[in-house]
C-alpha cells in the first residue's frame, strides 16, 4: 500500500526522514532542512527522479527524526543508511574506506595505520596505496624511533631493543624532536628521509649489494607515492578537490582528485550502488570521505549538492568551503579530468564483476529475488544419528565464493530432539556474536524450518533486518515469508551452492565427532551414503531390521534414495 500524503504531519524543522514498509523495513533515508516541504516534494505531479514513484508505491509510512541543525541531519543520515542499507539509497559498496596514518594525542605520541583514526589525532590521508602507507610507517619508526605500542611499558619492549623505538617509556628526552621530524615528513617535507635513504642506497650499491640497493630504491618510491606524488601542475590548483562521477546502470564510481599547492597529488575512487541521482551519490561519498579528513578550501562537484552539505564541510574544515560547479577555465578542466578518471574506473569495475563467475551467480540470485545484493550469504545445516552427536554448522559465501575462515561448527547443548529445534538453538547462538547482518540467512529445510527461525527472530526484535529463506532439496524449492514457493533454476545456483556446501561441511564435522566417541555405523561403508540419508532410512523403516530386510523397491521409496543407491544398500546386506 502506497504512502497516503494526506496523513502526513511533519514539522518544518531540520532532520531525517525514513520511508518504511508495513514490515518496518526501511526503504529510503533522506535529510532535510525543512522536513515538511522536503517530504511533500515526493508527491509532486512531476517528480524530479525516476525512482520516486516506485519508492512511494513500495512504502507504507514515513517516520522522521528532528535534529538541531542540517549538519547533524547529514551525519545521522549517513549512520542510518549504513545501519538499514535501504533499497532506494545510493550506497558505497562494502562500506569502502581508505587507510590513514595517524599520530595520537598522547604525551608521547604513537604512530598508527588505521581506517578509523581517533578524533583527536593528527592524521594524514586517506591513501589509495595501503601498502605504501604501511611502508612509510615502518620507515618513520626506523628513522625517527616513533613508538607504535598501545601502552608504555616500564621495562621497554622488543621494538626498543631492535632499534625501531626511541623508548620514551624509559627515557623521553628528545622524543618530541623526533615526533616533529616525522610530522614534517608526513606534511610533505620528505627531503630528510629521502636523502638518508639515498645515502643507504648508494652505500649498498658501492658495496655491490644490488639487492639491498633495489629494496631501498623501492622504499624511496613508497615515500614519494605516499607523501608527495605529483601528477599535474597548475597555479590554479592551490587547495581544492575535484569530484568526478560516472555510472553504468546501477554501478557508479565517484573519484576524488586532490590538488594542493598547484599539484594534483593523487586520486581516490569510491565504487557505489547508484540510484539515479548524481547529487545524492556524490553527497554520499563526500560524507564518507571528509568524515576522516579536513576538507579543502574549494570542492568542485558535478552537480549542486545542497546548502546543508556545504555547511557541514565548512564545519569540518573550521572555515569557509567554496562548493562550485565550474563551467569553464582551468578548474572546469580539472573537474572534467576527474569525470574521465571515474569513467575509466566504472568500466573496470563492470569488467571485474562480469569476469567473476561467482559474482555473476550472486548477482543473478539477487536479481531473481529482487534484492540489492547476495554478496554475503550465511547458510545453516544440522546433522545427527539416532540422537547422538547432534551438531550444526554454518558456512559463509562472500561474492559467491566460500569464505572458509568464517565457517563455524556447533555442538547442540540442549536436549532438542529434532533438527527443527536444534537449528533454532544454533542460529540463536550465532545471532549473539554478530556485529552486522548478512544479505541472506539461508536454511537447509522447508517451510517449517523457516517459520521456526522467523518466530525466534521475532522474539529478538529482528524482524525484517535481513532476508531469511529455506531451501528444500525436493525440486530445489525456496521458501520465503510472504512469497510463493519458488523452484530454483539457473539464476538460483548461488543458493544451491551455499546449501550444498553447508551440507558437506556439517556432515564432515559430524563424522569427525562420531569417530571420537563411537564406532562408525556399518551403513557408512556404502559409497555415497552419508549421515542425512542414513537418518532418512532409519526414520522410514523404524530401525535397522527394516533396512536389512527391505527390497530394492522399498528402499527406493525413501526420500533421497535413487535406484543405484537402493541397489548398493540391498547388495551390501545380501552379500
Instruction: Tell me what pLDDT residue 358 has.
Output: 81
Closest CA to 181 of 234, 134, 142: 142
Residue reference for cell 527394516? 546
Instruction: Tell me what pLDDT residue 21 has.
Output: 87
Q: Is there a contact between 481 and 452 (Cβ–Cβ < 8 Å)? A: no
| pLDDT-flagged residues of the chain (< 70) | 1, 48, 93-98, 125-132, 153-159, 161-163, 187-193, 219, 221-238, 260-266, 350-356, 385-388, 514-522, 524-525, 575
Domains in the chain, number: 5
Instruction: Tell me what pLDDT residue 121 has.
Output: 82
Domain that holds residue 347: 232-354
Instruction: Tell me what pLDDT residue 450 has.
Output: 92
Q: Does residue 265 sit in helix, strand or coil? A: strand
What are the start-end ranges of the H helices in 228-356? 278-289, 307-317, 329-354
The grid cell for 174 is 628528545
| 373 and 487 part of one domain | yes
DSSP string, 215-280: HHHHHHHHHHHHH----EE-TT-SEEEEEEEEEETTEEEEEEEEEETTEEEEEEEEEEE--S-HHH
Among the three residues 354, 373, 399, which one is the final residue of a domain in this structure?
A: 354
Instruction: Tell me what pLDDT residue 231 has.
Output: 35
Instruction: Tell me what pLDDT residue 233 has.
Output: 38
| 34 and 80 part of one domain | yes
Instruction: Tell me what pLDDT residue 123 has.
Output: 76
Residue 94, in any domain of the structure: no
The Cβ-side half-sphere exposure at 144, using a 13 Å CA radius, reads 27
Residue 359, in any domain of the structure: no
Residue 242, in any domain of the structure: yes
| 371 and 504 part of one domain | yes
Residue 379, in any domain of the structure: yes
pTM exceeds cut of 0.85: no
How far are the Cα atoms of 189, 345, 414, 504 from residue 232, in angstroms, in the given order? 19, 19, 66, 55
Query: What's 308's domain CATH number?
Result: 3.30.420.340
Amino acid at each position: 500500500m502506497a504512502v497516503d500524503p494526506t496523513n502526513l504531519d511533519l514539522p518544518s524543522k531540520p532532520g531525517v526522514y525514513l520511508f518504511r514498509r508495513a514490515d518496518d523495513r526501511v526503504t529510503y533515508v533522506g535529510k532535510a532542512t525543512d522536513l515538511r516541504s522536503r517530504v511533500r516534494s515526493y508527491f509532486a505531479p512531476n517528480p524530479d527522479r525516476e525512482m520516486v514513484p516506485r519508492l512511494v508505491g513500495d512504502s507504507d509510512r514515513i517516520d522522521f527524526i528532528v535534529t538541531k541543525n542540517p549538519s547533524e541531519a547529514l551525519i545521522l543520515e549517513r549512520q542510518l543508511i549504513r545501519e538499514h542499507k535501504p533499497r532506494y539509497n545510493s550506497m558505497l559498496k562494502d562500506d569502502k574506506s581508505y587507510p590513514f596514518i595517524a599520530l595520537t594525542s598522547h604525551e608521547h605520541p604513537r604512530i598508527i595505520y588505521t581506517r578509523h583514526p581517533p578524533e583527536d589525532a593528527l592524521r594524514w590521508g586517506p591513501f589509495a596505496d595501503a601498502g605504501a602507507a604501511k611502508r612509510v610507517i615502518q620507515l618513520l619508526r626506523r628513522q625517527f624511533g616513533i613508538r607504535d605500542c598501545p601502552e608504555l611499558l616500564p621495562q621497554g619492549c622488543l621494538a626498543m631493543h631492535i632499534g625501531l623505538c626511541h623508548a620514551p617509556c624509559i627515557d623521553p628526552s628528545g622524543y618530541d624532536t623526533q615526533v616533529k621530524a616525522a610530522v614534517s615528513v608526513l606534511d610533505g617535507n620528505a627531503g630528510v628521509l629521502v636523502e638518508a635513504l639515498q645515502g643507504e642506497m648508494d652505500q649498498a650499491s658501492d658495496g655491490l649489494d644490488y639487492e639491498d640497493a633495489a629494496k631501498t630504491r623501492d622504499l624511496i618510491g613508497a615515500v614519494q607515492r605516499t607523501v608527495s606524488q605529483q601528477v599535474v601542475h597548475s597555479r590554479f590548483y592551490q587547495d581544492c578537490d575535484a569530484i568526478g562521477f560516472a555510472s553504468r546502470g546501477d554501478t557508479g564510481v565517484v573519484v576524488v582528485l586532490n590538488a594542493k599547492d598547484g599539484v594534483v597529488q593523487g586520486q581516490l575512487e569510491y565504487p557505489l550502488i547508484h540510484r539515479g541521482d548524481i547529487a545524492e551519490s556524490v553527497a554520499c561519498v563526500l560524507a564518507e570521505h571528509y568524515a576522516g579528513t579536513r576538507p579543502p578550501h574549494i570542492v568542485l562537484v558535478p552537480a549542486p549538492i545542497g546548502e546543508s552539505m556545504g555547511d557541514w564541510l565548512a564545519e569540518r574544515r573550521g572555515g569557509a568551503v567554496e562548493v562550485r560547479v565550474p563551467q569553464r577555465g582551468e578548474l572546469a578542466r580539472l573537474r572534467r579530468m576527474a569525470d574521465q578518471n571515474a569513467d575509466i574506473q566504472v568500466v573496470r569495475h563492470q569488467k571485474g564483476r562480469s569476469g567473476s563467475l561467482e559474482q555473476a551467480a550472486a548477482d543473478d540470485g539477487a536479481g531473481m529475488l529482487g534484492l540489492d545484493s547476495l554478496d554475503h550469504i550465511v547458510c545453516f545445516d544440522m546433522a545427527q544419528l539416532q540422537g547422538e552427536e547432534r551438531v550444526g554448522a554454518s558456512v559463509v559465501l562472500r561474492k559467491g565464493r566460500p569464505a572458509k575462515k568464517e565457517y563455524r561448527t556447533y555442538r547442540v547443548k540442549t536436549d532438542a530432539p529434532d533438527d527443527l529445534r536444534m537449528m533454532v538453538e544454533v542460529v540463536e547462538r550465532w545471532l549473539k556474536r554478530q556485529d552486522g547482518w548478512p544479505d541472506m540467512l539461508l536454511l537447509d529445510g522447508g517451510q517449517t524450518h523457516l517459520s521456526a527461525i522467523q518466530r525466534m527472530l521475532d522474539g529478538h526484535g529482528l524482524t525484517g533486518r535481513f532476508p531469511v529463506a529455506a531451501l528444500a532439496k525436493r525440486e530445489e524449492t525456496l521458501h520465503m515469508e510472504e512469497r510463493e514457493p519458488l523452484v530454483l533454476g539457473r539464476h538460483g545456483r548461488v543458493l544451491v551452492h551455499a546449501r550444498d556446501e553447508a551440507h558437506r561441511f556439517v556432515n564432515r564435522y559430524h563424522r569427525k565427532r562420531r569417530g571420537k566417541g563411537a564406532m562408525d555405523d556399518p551403513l557408512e561403508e556404502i559409497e555415497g551414503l552419508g549421515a542425512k540419508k542414513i537418518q532418512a532410512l532409519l526414520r522410514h523403516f523404524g530401525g535397522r531390521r527394516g533396512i536389512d530386510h527391505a527390497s530394492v523397491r522399498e528402499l527406493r521409496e525413501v526420500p533421497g534414495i535413487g535406484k543405484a543407491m537402493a541397489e548398493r544398500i540391498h547388495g551390501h546386506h545380501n552379500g
